[in-house]
A and B are shown apart, each in its own frame.
Chain A
């Protein structure tokens, strides 16, 4: 449905523009949330429910709440009265987007302007058919492809953790190890942040200045 695509794309773009145009940081944060919601809707429009929902859950629901939390605890008056910034920033801020716009203008004419065909889900189901199993014991992916819905959650899992079944036609290498490494990396970063924030408190006991 092009109507939904254009309306949600408009929400995403307008939100992004408002994000940089508003003086008040709270307004900016809320327009960023609107932009994320538009993006999530675009993902859902592409049948990628999982990615869209995670977009809302992680970015709009968790990260931006923390942003807002911190912005609200700051003194906003000082930020709103901020003076004009360096003209160099202005030049940089116009040149870099200009390069991107030129890139877009070069790429867009090369894309064929036609409506995409609906996904051939039933044909794809054949690749997940397991000959050794009974028809009603086939995998979740096969069954929902047969029913005409895209099992995007299970496909994400399949891509992530690979496929061990020897009988299935499609096999993916799986990214289990990189995924675990990234998880450990994030954990290390979190522990590091906590350690850094704790260190400053130690030398001075509280209320020593008063």
Chain B
């Protein structure tokens, strides 16, 4: 293997045998043995996976849940053996893929530090030397003699992270660390990643958080259903990823629309999302695009002063991001007679930050006590490519810093 290669994975395959009824007792094993027909389903977790990671690379593995990316990471870590193919590792690899492995709730924080340290290969003497630094970094000095079960989850993560970053190895494996912890902790993680990147550390990073992937990874692969479907520069891989996600979303949207009960009076049709030049948006748009959404409302029966409106939702956020309707804008809908068609056009705010959004058009009665028609997630789209990922609304660069 060439010297500049850190990890070389060649035609890797992994299948999991999932028994229909898990064969965990001798009785069932005996019965099945006699029948000679062990019934199990083979789940192809990884198939024909080949890639190389160069030394000093920050390498991303992207994929939806259940795509096989964590299986791949576990195989790199040596936790699962391959069914076929080879993994060549050039250098020392972190043996863990998760923070706080082996943490025991019944032990004190201090005892857990030593136990976790031992799992990473540190002797008690070595741990004593770095113990104070670990505790200081985790900011939990006063809790170290308490049992771990009395810690908040944030404290546990901070402690685990502080120990993990002490592990010295040539290649780091990191799986979704950023999914936990508060904003302050995530900033610490980011700082740590920046340091790693600056130091030229080889890192394999598995995530579906496109923000951090885009920020840190030079190269990436996209895994879907156990095979690599895209590889190369992180940006292009992520674009590919968006398309995979959107395809899934669209199918779901259609299913939802088909499943919605039909009402007799009003129908919403022709919902479109377009950019400033009138091109229809299929899935993803770059940040800063001026988006306009349009839909028709057709009345099959007369309705007295209906309210037509739209709500914009963001994935994972419980309250609307943006909402407006004919009533708040003081627009008259008195002409909603049988056969009448309205077109409703709304321009969305341009400061929407990177993320996944849903459009929900609706028609309600005059008093807004019920909906004639409402389509949740009538259209989903992705905004991508902004450089500040801290908030939903992208701040304008108008903030000023002055000497006082």
Q: Do A and B belong to a common assembly?
A: no
Q: Which residues of A contact B (CB under 8 A)?
A: none
Q: Which residues of B contact A (CB under 8 A)?
A: none
